[in-house]
Structure formats: C-alpha cells, structure tokens
Amino acid sequence: MSDEIKKDNYSADSIQALEGMEHVRMRPSMYIGDVGVRGLHHLVYEVVDNSIDEAMGGHCDTIIVDINEDGSITVEDNGRGIPVGIHKKEGVSALEVVMTKIGAGGKFDKDSYKVSGGLHGVGVSVVNALSNHLRATVHSSDGKVYEQEYEKGKALYPVKQIGETTKRGTIVTFYPDPSIFTQTVEYSYDTLSGRMRELSYLNKGI
C-alpha cells in the first residue's frame, strides 16, 4: 500500500473509541499478554484467581478445574458466590456487572478481598469477552441457584433463578473464542494441573 493511500484512509472517521468488552476483543494482548498458548491458559488462571481470592479471605477451601470434552473449561469453587442482587449504579444484577464490566470485580473493593492474585489482574470479565460462550452459575446464600449466559461478553438474558440449593459457590464454564485464539483452543492438562499444584502449595487450606 502506498503512502498516498495510507494518508487517504487515515482520517477522523478511522479513529474508533473502543471501550470495555469491545476493546478487549480488539486488543486482547493488552489484557492477557498474548493470544497464543500462554494467553489461552491465562483465561483459566483469571477465573481461578477469583476463587483464590475467596480462599484467602477465608470463604473457600475447594476449587475444581475441569477440561471438558467439548473444549470448554469449568471452574467451580465453594466460596460465597458472586452477588446476584441489583447493583445500584448499574441497575442490573451484580453478577452481570462483574461479568461484563472491566475492572468491576470485588477484588477492587478492599473490604471484599484480601489480595488480588492475577498476573494481569484483569478479572473474569475479560475471560467473558474472549469467549464464544460463557455460563455463570451461582449457589447463593439465600438457598437459590442463579444463572446467566453470555456470548462474546454480552449477556443473553437477565440473571435468573434456576433452582434451589444447600451449597454455596460459583461455577463458570467458558468456551474460548477460536477467532481470537487462532493458534489453538486446546488446553494442556499438564500445564493446568501444574499451575493448580503451585496454587495449592502457595495457598494453605485449598
């Protein structure tokens, strides 16, 4: 392409102000380091780090990571469960805020978590943005099970009750977007199990 054509194409109309989830999808490496094997596995670590934060706050002692046959990942913990009540400022469930707003997680509130664990600390909303599909299920303290699903970071429906429970915790299942992770969307058991062992050593009681 000639310099002349480049100049013609570079105008005010070509500058886009990207915000939130859209920006994550356009510039994923800014949030997870890269979109290769390392970045793919980092998605899991971001979800697990939320559970680690719960554990370090004394609210969780079990974290389960499954590589599913369909290529998705499921991370389950027995923590307090992401809050599902209506967020005053946003006007939607706090679960939806955590899942769809960059930097909205409880780890940014000093009263919610002791520490922030992640390498980038970007939170589960970035995982949501970089996934074809994500399902979040919360076993809440009110004895009810709540769920919301998303496609490419956008909620498909409001948070809804799907049952009752005697458990507590959060379950997140996500499918990494192959249009983002073009190198591979296949997870390594050895890589993930090694990381989980490290985390169990570093965090007593998990």
Please report, for the domain that includes residue 122, its CATH number.
3.30.565.10
85 assigned to some structural domain: yes
* Residue 198 in tokens: 């490290």
pLDDT value at residue 19: 62
1 assigned to some structural domain: no
6 assigned to some structural domain: no
pLDDT value at residue 1: 47
42 assigned to some structural domain: yes
Number of structural domains in the chain: 1
Strands 169-176 and 73-77: antiparallel
What are the mean pLDDT values of the chain's consecutive 10-residue runs (206 residues total)? 43 46 93 96 94 89 97 96 87 90 58 41 86 98 97 97 97 98 98 96 87
pLDDT value at residue 105: 55
Domain of 54 in residue numbering reads as 21-201
pLDDT value at residue 206: 86
